[in-house]
Structure 1
Amino acid sequence: MALPDTAPLLVGLLLLFHAFGAWAIVEVNMEDKVEVMAGETAQITCMFTTDEGLGGTTIQWFYVLPNKERQRIYNKEPMHEAAEQNTLFTHRISLNVNGTAAVLAIRDVGVRDNLEFICVIKTLTPEEAEGRTQLQVFKSPTFPTIEAVETGISVNEEAPSKIGSCRVKNGYPKPNITWYRNNMPLRNTPPEVVVTSSTTIESSGLFSVQSELTMKVKKEHKDAVFYCEVIYFVPGATKMTESQHINITVYYLPTEVNIWVESPKGKIKEGDTLELRCDNNGNYPSSITTIKHQNSEYSVENKTMVRTNVKRLDGGVYECTFEETDNFDEISGSTKVSVNYLESAVITPKDSIAVMEGEELKASCNALSSLQTSTTWFKNEKLVSKGNTLSVKSATLETAGMYKCVVTVPEMEGMKTSSTLQVNVKGSPQILGPDVQEVETYETTVNLTCSATGFPAPTIMWTTSDGKNLNALQTETEDGAQSVVTFKITSNVKVFCNASNDFGSKVVEFNIKTILNTTLTTITSMPTISTTTRSTTTISSDTVVHTTPTATTTTSTNTITDDTVQTPTKSPNIKKESKGFVIAIIIIAIFLLAILGSVLYFLYKKGRICGRSGKQDFSKRKSSKDNIVVEMKSDNTEEAILLGVNGEKQQPNDQ
């Protein structure tokens, strides 16, 4: 090591400079402060100058203790340098000398490193110089937390009430907290506003700050927004962090109470469901709200009242009362409810009216209502008049009938009432239909109907042309009467319907003509044409049958009722008026055939025809025809006569 050899030389140089009075000049320049965030590396620079050069320069670093004493942490001599042992910085510092700049680096700085550092420069001569730098360490605090008071605050409180608290942790230097209401800062101005703060120094040396806001609450604070703002420092700047916003519940007495109709919207009518709502501009926890109907004292302890199927008496004044139960202070508001109504329509005269034919008909219809009404008159669903009065200058029988008066309220849908009036017109009866009516029938029984109008209701009598009175059923109709008669017909007859009342009478004639009224009781015999085919005809009373022998080999039976006439053919264009003539011709022909049969039978008995031996055979003349046997029966079921070819009776087993 060269240090022992050069030491005498250096000592000699110092003595030489001292002998000649020549001292070296040393200057040191340092920044007043160095700012750094906690956890980073701080670099403190010491700029120095000396006319001796760097060969004999000694650099020493110190920090100032709280008691103002110095504690060396680093020493650099021309031939040796090292950090002092057992200090706060032993393992965290290093020195870098570059020319005339000595830079002390401190790693992982913390708030405990917030100290003043001294750089000392010494030369070979006794001259030295030093410089000082304040190391400032910064730590950003946590995000501020804010808590609002959970209970409501009454404006009646005399002392300031707590609004909330704000807290911020682990900042350096100490953060500052400011309270805001609606973006306006709150200053500590007791007793209206009181802000109290407390600071806690953590074991790490960081600061935690808590601030509490209390103030006298007013009604206008019910919608206010409160928050706190934290201001803290960083190297070369100042920063701000804003907390969340909070609201408070403010209790205050109302100054106004409102009550209104929630539904229905618009006008109210009888039968509606009425809903009333009540509210006030206050906010008080211990209170009672009551809605009361002043006319009936009907009330509910609620902010809502519902009444179904309201009547006009349910209208009137409804009052809502707010009562504060702590001091029993009251405040109320009211509203008037109108329930519109429409009473039943009343017609004058009531129920019915009777006027003489030709006189004036006049009736009125009215319905009591709270609103303007409109009246119309209908007859048979047809509009006949508008307005309260129904008037007909000259009444006729057509004027009579049922009239309906309808009263409505145009401005409110659904409000309608009605009533009816029976109008009767006094006058002689009128019978529907012509005065003379023709009736033709095949039946032996006929039903006749006679309908008459008039007031009073006519009495209907039935008589025949021979002076007989007929019993009939009479019923009253809306505009008169109706009668139905039923009787048997034996011949053409005239029937009269006579309708009469206090003002006259009317007669209608019914001419009844029978199409068929003949009874055939017996047909004796028919000539025998052949003995091969048998034809049988059964005839009842009032029946005419016309048959023609045929040459078929089948047996046929013809049954004719009272209402039937059978002929071989019937022209489709025969008119109703010619039917009687045709039937008469058929009847005459049948009688002629019966007479002819009787004559032939008589001649046979006398032996004038075909001897009694029966040996003569008609088949010689008409061999192609079969025998025809006719069975004739009377109404009293006489014994059937079987005619053979010999004219004698045959036993049934001979057939």
Structure 2
Amino acid sequence: MALRDSACLLLGLLLLCHTWGAWAIVEVNMEDRVEVMRGENTQITCMFTSDDGIGGMIITWYYVTRSGEKQEIYQQDSTMRVVKKGTQFTERISVNGTLANGQVVLTISDVDISDEVEFICLIRSLTYGTAEGRTKLRVFEMPDLPTIDVVQKGISVSEDTPKIGVCEVKNGYPKPNITWYRNTTPLRSSDRVKPQPSITTESTGLFSIKNELSMTLTKEDKDATFYCEVTYFVPGGMRMTETNAVNLTVLYPSTSVSLWVESPKGMIKEGDTVELRCQGDGNSAVSFTILHDPTGLQVDTNSLVLHNVTEKNSGDYRCVSLDMETFEEISGNTTLFVNFLKQAVVYPKNDVEMELDDFLTAICRAPSSLPTQTVWLKDGEQISTGHILSLTNVTFDSAGTYICVVTVLEIEGMETTGELVVLVLGAPEVIVPENVELEATYDTMVDLTCLVKGYPLPTITWVTSDGEVLKETVTSNITAYCIASNSYGNDSQSFSIKGTSHTTQIPTISSTSSTSISSSTASHTTQSPTTSSTRTSISSSTVKAKTAIPPKKIKKEGSGVIIAVIIICILLLAILGSVLYFMYKKGKICGRSGKQDLTKEKSSKDNIVVEMKSDNTEEAILLGVNGDKPPPNEQ
């Protein structure tokens, strides 16, 4: 009875209190959402206020399952803290804070995708006041780097929305988004562009996205770049990453064909190797044919090489392109011009024979497609310019070979030559040497050379002062004559050589190279063949002279002695004298020899021995010459 009365008293007091004042109020504040990266720890804060004391409140944590049910995971009051067993958070949650400060914090460790639920913080007071707060947990995972894979083979522009390529990004959360780009422009779905995304949910709850692009291409796409942009969410915002940019092999037919000279660059001349190349502005499968109608050339190729081209290779060339898909033909052309320089021709064409003091006009012509320059050369030196050569008052020095050189200045190496041979007719002219009087010690050699100008080729003869041809041996100081003659006249030159017993340097006169060379010896005269290379009218004859030891003078027995002997031996010695005289004349007595040293005893008159030699060069060797004037019968 007493207990019942006490209870009634307490209830009355409470009613009285509520009657006298307001009921107790409970308020809860929580964030709408909390974001966290997968695998990290997160905290959810529950803040509350109440008029009740600490002992009059109970805190309970719930989460909302994917089916929408509330599942308790934690409860506490002033006396106890209890983690609900058997939930997905049982081993991974903890709660910090007390009722006194009006704030408790739910901590979840190692957050996973499945933890992305709504959490409820419920506050109950003993005065029947109740309030709750809700927070959604958002979990994020950055995806792997995206990849792009485009069709490797060529894609024809004639195909209707063919597959271009695939972009893919894996293991992201929430779902990443893929956008295709052409250059810097995003590709939106249209009749021409058809992106097809697909989503795969991995066993981990993460998402993998694949986007396949089909697109009708145009010729302009051959230079375009394609790539994919991937956007995904992270705590606090959004991020973006891109694939590498790639090109497509776009096949498109040609709308025009070009044909050009690949090499050589610049002007082309005869003898060059020329390469022609053909190409269309498309890249689909085609066949090429190069044609040159004037020569009937037709080659199935896009590159034509012409070796050693001539003027005949000039003209229009045409290239025909046949598309292997549409079988349409288009063509292009180019003009090839081969510059030419014909062989130089000199007029008059044959060798020209002229007389002294005559004149000649020669013309050198070499047809060319370009302006030319002509110069005339003689003996390697330039003597005139222009295609006309004028010779006046010709001399023997005018004879020879004239070369006309025709050059195209615009093209290096374009040159031709012609030749004119001039022969000057006239009586021989002996070229007087510097020294015609020579001295030399006995038993030495002396070279004498006789150079003669004239045409027809002069005949050269060597004779002595008495008009006789030089013999094999000459036993005295002599004068030798070089006599040159042809059908127009003759000329001569004397050479004198004297033998001495003292030392004297022997001069040597070397013969110069000539085109017309005559060579003679003391016993005969030979004429060498005419050389065709230079045709100068100079004849040459060379002899070698050798001074010989003069014979020793023999003392003859005086006639007085013979008479005395005859007187004494009238009869006997007469016979003996006859025998001795006969032997003396034959050189059988008194030790007479053919050669002695000039230094022992000089004869009353110098003697010279001439030895004649000949060789394969048809040059003679004169061994001794002395004299002043040619013999009368040769003048």
Task: Classify the TM-score, shorter chain.
Answer: 0.7 to 0.9
> TM-score scaled to structure 2, two decimals?
0.73
Is the Cα–Cα contact under 8 Å of residues 198 and 211 in structure 2 kept in the other structure? yes
Deviation (angstroms), 1:275:
2.5
1:509, CA displacement in angstroms? 6.3
**1:96-175 equivalences in 2 (<5 Å):** 96-98=96-98, 99-157=101-159, 159-175=160-176
Q: In the alignment, what sits opposite 1:610?
A: none
Give me the whole-angstrom Cα distance separating, in 1, the residues matched to 2:207 and 2:153: 31
Counterpart for residue 473 of structure 1: none
Deviation at 1:177, TM superposition (A): 1.2
Native 8 Å contact 1:347 1:366 kept in 2: yes
Instruction: After TM superposition, give the deviation of residue 79 of structure 1 in Å.
Output: 2.3
User: Any residues of structure 2 matched to 1:86-485 within 5 Å, and which?
Assistant: 86-98=86-98, 99-157=101-159, 159-189=160-190, 191-284=191-284, 286-433=285-432, 452-458=452-458
Q: What is the identity, as a one-letter code, of the residue corresponding to 1:400?
A: A
* Shift in Å, 1:423: 1.5
Matched, 1:563 2:571: no
| Matched position secondary structure for 2:295 | coil
Q: Tell me: higher relative CO, structure 1 or 2? Use CA pairs within 8 A at least 6 residues apart.
A: 2
| Deviation readout 1:10-45 (Å, 9 max, x if unpaired) | 998667424653642212122211222222222111
Q: Which of 1, 4, 17 pairs up with 2:14?
A: 17
Contact 1:291 1:320 in 2 (8 A): yes
Post-superposition shift, 1:230? 1.3
Corresponding residue number in structure 2 for 1:81: 81
- For 1:83 and 1:28, how far apart are their aligned partners in 2? 21
**How far apart are 1:327 and its partner, in Å?**
2.5
Deviation sequence 1:583-634 (CA, Å, 0-9, x none): 9xx84xx526x4499779969x98xxxxxxxxxxxxxxxxxxxxxxxxx999
Q: Does the Cα contact within 8 Å between 2:288 and 2:302 map onto a contact in 1? A: yes
Aligned-partner SS, 1:142: coil
Counting only pairs closer than 5 Å after superposition, residues 546-561 of structure 1 correspond to structure 2 as: none
Which residue identity does 2:122 align to in structure 1?
A: V
Post-superposition offset of 1:486: 5.9
Distance change in 2, residues 1:121/1:422 (3 Å): same
Are 2:55 and 2:77, in contact at CA under 8 Å, matched by a contact in 1? no
Mapped partners of 1:215, 1:327: distance in 2: 21
* Residue range with higher mean Cα deviation, 24-33 or 493-502: 493-502
Secondary structure of 1:295's aligned partner: helix
Question: Does structure 1 retain, via aligned residues, the 8 Å contact 2:499–2:547?
Answer: no
Q: Secondary structure at the match of 2:361?
A: strand
* Equivalent residue, structure 1, for 2:555: 591
Structure 2 residues not aligned, in runs of 5+: 501-545, 570-582, 592-635
Distance 1:600 1:515, change over 3 A: farther
| SS of match in other structure, 2:246 | coil
Trace 1:599-614 onto structure 2 (pairs within 5 A). Answer: none
Q: How many residues align?
A: 521
Change (3 A) 1:511 1:356: closer
Rounded Cα–Cα distance in structure 2 between residues aligned with 1:60 and 1:514: 157
Contact 1:446/1:489 (8 A) holds in 2:
no
Question: C-alpha distance in 2, partners of 1:353/1:87?
Answer: 129
Once residues 176 and 447 of structure 2 are traced to their aligned partners in structure 1, the CA distance between those partners, rounded to angstroms, is 121
**Higher gyration radius (CA):** 1
Deviations 1:207-248 (CA, angstroms, capped at 9, x unpaired):
221111111101111111111111111121111111222211
Partner of 2:149, secondary structure, is strand
Sequence identity (%): 46
SS in 1 for 2:222: helix
The 2-side partners of 1:405 and 1:100 are apart by 121
The 1:437/1:204 distance shift into structure 2, 3 A limit, reads closer
Q: Which residue in 2 is equivalent to 1:30?
A: 30
Structure-2 residue corresponding to 1:546: none
> What does the per-residue CA deviation read over 1:385-418, in whole Å, with 9 as the maximum and x for residues that have no partner?
1111111232233322222222222222222222
TM-score (norm 1): 0.71
Residue 591 to residue 160, structure 1, CA distance change in 2 (3 Å): same
Contact 2:377 2:403 (8 Å CA) reproduced: yes
Q: 1:17 to 1:415 in 2, by over 3 A?
A: same
Contact 2:403 2:417 in 1 (8 A): yes
Equivalent pair of 1:292/1:298 in contact (CA under 8 Å): yes
In the alignment, structure 1 residue 506 sits paired with structure 2 residue 490: yes
Q: CA deviation at 1:511?
A: 7.6
SS at match of 1:591: coil
User: Residues 64 and 636 from structure 1, CA distance in 2 versus in 1: closer, same or farther, beyond 3 angstroms?
Assistant: same
2:279 maps to amino acid:
D
The residue identity in structure 2 corresponding to 1:165 is V
SS at match of 1:112: helix
Give the Å deviation of 1:320: 2.9
The amino acid that maps onto 2:239 is: K
445-454 or 88-97, larger mean C-alpha shift: 445-454
Paired position in structure 1 for 2:523 = none
The answer to whether the 8 A contact 1:14-1:124 is kept is no
Whole-angstrom distance in 2 between the partners of 1:231 and 1:311 = 68
Question: Is the deviation greater in 13-22 or in 315-324?
Answer: 13-22
Which residue of the partner structure matches residue 627 of structure 1?
none
Distance 1:494 1:47 in 2: 153
Return the offset for 1:299. 4.8
What is the CA distance between 1:90 and its match in structure 2? 1.4
Match of 1:55, SS state, is helix
Cα distance in structure 2, aligned partners of 1:173 and 1:114? 11
Cα deviation for residue 454 of structure 1 reads: 3.4
Deviations 1:29-76 (A, max 9, x none): 222112222222221111111111111211111112233322111111
* More deviation, 314-323/47-56: 314-323
Tell me the CA shift for residue 419 of structure 1.
2.2
Q: Does 1:48 align with 2:32?
A: no
CA distance in 1, matches of 2:189, 2:563: 159
Distance 2:384 2:403 in 1: 10
Question: 1:424 Cα deviation (Å)?
Answer: 2.4
- Structure 2 CA distance for partners of 1:57 and 1:450, relative to 1, 3 Å: closer
Q: Distance in 2 between matches of 1:326 and 1:440?
A: 103
In 1, the alpha carbon distance for the partners of 2:589 and 2:555 equals 19
